[in-house]
Structure 1
Amino acid sequence: MTRVAVAGFLHEACLHAPSRFCSLRRPMLLLLLAPLLALLPPSAAAAPASPSPVPDSTQSYYARKDAAALRRLLRNADTRAERLLCRYRLYPLTEDERYLNDLPETLDPDASARELALLSGLWGYRAAHASVFGAMQAGRRSMQLLEKAREKDADDPFVLLIGGQSLLFRPALAGGSDETALARFRRLRRVLGSRPDADAVAASEAALWTWYALRETDRPDAANALRRKLAERDLPPLYREFLKHPPG
């Protein structure tokens, strides 16, 4: 498996920048995008609403590393949320900088927490390819968007996922905390079983990040137990690679 190093702006921008779902080493920046999002309509009173096809499809295609299928979804996307989601999934698979072009600096006041978090992630990608000054600007935008997302809905699964990753890969002086990251991932796993948008992040993805945070916080017994459970699952390629070659 090829290990992709993400150009850093950790000390400058205080935010991780994502790369492929594979092995990365500290203090490199990391924002894995498995973010595995869903944008479901509210359930109708008479009958449960059907899930939107875009989140489920993007999650499946990304985990299988099917960039061609994700491109088709992007071409057919009807909403801003769907377009952001597809671009966010496509970039770590392809490293095609076209998906980082023309990013808005912010979104309108009606934007959802998830849209803000997705845009935050895309700005994080942009920071990885910028000069030091450009990385600082992009990193600040990314952090500001993430904070706005948390203000809107701190328990949105994608906000929890990105927030935990950011805490893991920021230095302590910039607010990073492995312990707080672990708490976010544990919260994410609980949230996935209680919210109507529970398919926003795959349960396996949340478990993988919890396992990683357990390792980083020196909890080997709990980490090994969770790893054994994950290894018994029929994980898609990206998740198997992460389990075999975690960051570190």
Structure 2
Amino acid sequence: MLLEVRDMHLHYGKVEAVKGVSLELREGQIITLIGANGAGKSSILRAISGLQRPSSGEIRYRDKRVDRVAPDKIVDMGIVHVPEGRRLFKLMTVRENLRMGAYLNKDGSEIAEGMEKVFDLFPILREKQNQQSGRLSGGQQQMVAMGRALMARPKVLLLDEPSLGLAPKLIDEIADLIVQMRDSGLSIVLVEQNANLALTLSDHGYVMETGSIALHGPSKDLLADPEVARAYLGA
């Protein structure tokens, strides 16, 4: 198993945000977490990336525990988090933001090669590379955030709400890019409010309610489930 969360609980003070969650990610998969705001989806990503320490349970990457490992070490191991809201350095150029993603890499030729791969995947960023990132459109900023993560040469990408606030045409473009990243060898954990999009893109889905997993299974089965359709797909 590439990544495994086992019976994880997570608290913010006295509030239990994640209640005994278990999930699995295999090589080359996209798995998705769907559910209402406050269900605990983003907290799970924060725990996997080391930004929030679980109260109990285990997180394993390539069968090694990482739930007590520092965030920079987790990045170095190959797990990279693209947070909700993009969190760019908006006064810095696109190129400077991308370069920040490779802060653990001291090899100039590898950094240049990574930059070229990002520009090949997101051609608009090559054109905009010397512009301040804060002046880009929402979709272009999301591309910078994803490209910055790719500069760290991840094996696992944690994507939190990549379509948030984007126009439908741009959502389709981001969806295509997520599939391209998967096809290039990445494994992806996707948190996404657009449940229909998330289940269409993913191999396996986890439906969360108030910190727990209420239902999980192959995404195509969840798409066809009348209960999921009523609650999350607007049917």
Same topology, TM > 0.5: no
TM-score normalized by the length of structure 2: 0.32
More strand as a share of residues: 2
TM-score normalized by the length of structure 1: 0.30
